[in-house]
Amino acid sequence: MAMSKQEVVHKLEGMSLVQKLGIMFALVILLAGGFWYVLLRPYLEKAVALHKEIAKIESDMTTFQKKNLALPGLIQKVEARQAEWVAAQTLLPKDAQALERLLASFEMLAQEVGVGFVSFTPGQESVAEFYASRGVNLRIRGTFHGLMLFFDKLSKLDRLVELDSLRLQPAGQLTRDAQALLTADSQLIVFRALTDAEREAQKARKTKKPKQ
């Protein structure tokens, strides 16, 4: 049964001081709890959320700073690779005709150092992504000094030529000044750049290739 106002007041007046203080303390706690729930809790939750967001931003900034510090080194690596690629392109004959002229220059080079051609057999051309290569079986004859001079000059050509293998054996002949002649069987690999048309054709073939 609900108590009237007078009854409540009368009952409170009949309580001891300790009981009255206990009721006041309970009311203070109740009011403080309500104040916390209604007013302070949303602000505290927002503060916690902001703290987490700030921590994430700081973490992202640290990651970005690390990447930013590494960026100059990455740029230098890219620039170095680009420079190497440009240099390599200048060493590649531009087309098949230029490659044939390069192969013909081998014989002229041999004549300059007194080395004779015995046989010259170009192999099939192999096409890669940016260049084509061709193996060449070359047999030449001359003195040891002449052969070494030929291959030395060959390595200094302003074109990409790779000496893949070399085998020397006595030719069983002597020069006029009694120097022994040697036969050199070598395999060279010569490279050339792909033309724009060849690169486009290669891209078209890759596009048409069915996926497995």
Each residue's pLDDT, cut to its tens digit, for the chain (212 residues) gives 455 556 655 565 666 666 666 666 666 555 555 544 554 455 556 656 666 777 777 777 777 777 666 666 766 765 655 554 444 444 444 556 766 776 777 888 888 888 988 888 878 878 777 777 888 888 999 999 899 988 888 877 656 678 888 898 988 887 777 788 899 999 988 777 777 787 787 777 777 765 55
Angle ∠(147,151,157) on CA atoms, nearest 5: 145
35 found inside a domain = yes
- The H-or-E segment that residue 149 falls in is helix 144-155
What is residue 119's predicted lDDT score, i.e. its pLDDT? 85
Question: Hey, which residues does 23 pair with through a beta bridge?
Answer: none
Taking the complete model, does pTM exceed 0.85, yes or no?
no
Max intra-chain CA distance, the chain: 146
Domain boundary among 60, 91, 122: 91
Which residues, in sequence order, are CB contacts of 126 under 8 Å at separation 6+? 132, 133, 134
Expressed in angstroms, the distance from the first to the final Cα of the chain is: 85
E strand map for the chain: 116-127, 131-142, 161-174, 180-193
Contact criterion met (CB below 8 Å) for 136 and 100: no
204 found inside a domain = no
Residues 82, 100, single domain; the answer is: no
Contact criterion met (CB below 8 Å) for 147 and 140: yes
The two tokens of residue 97 are: 């005709």
DSSP designation for 116: E
203 found inside a domain = no
CA 194 to chain centre: 23
Domain boundary among 91, 125, 144: 91
Distance, in Å, from the CA atom of 139 to the CA atom of 183, rounded to the nearest integer, reads: 7
Angle ∠(131,133,134) on CA atoms, nearest 5: 160
Number of compact structural domains in the chain:
2
Residues 108, 175, single domain; the answer is: yes
Residues 80, 104, single domain; the answer is: no
Range of the domain at 124: 96-198
Question: Hey, which residues does 138 pair with through a beta bridge?
Answer: 120, 186
What is residue 139's predicted lDDT score, i.e. its pLDDT? 92
Residues 160, 175, single domain; the answer is: yes
Backbone φ, ψ for residue 128 (5° rounding): -105, -165
16 found inside a domain = no
Contact criterion met (CB below 8 Å) for 181 and 106: no
Residues 101, 42, single domain; the answer is: no
Residues 157, 68, single domain; the answer is: no
Q: How many CB atoms lie within 10 A of CB 10?
A: 11
Residues 164, 142, single domain; the answer is: yes
Contact criterion met (CB below 8 Å) for 140 and 150: yes
108 found inside a domain = yes
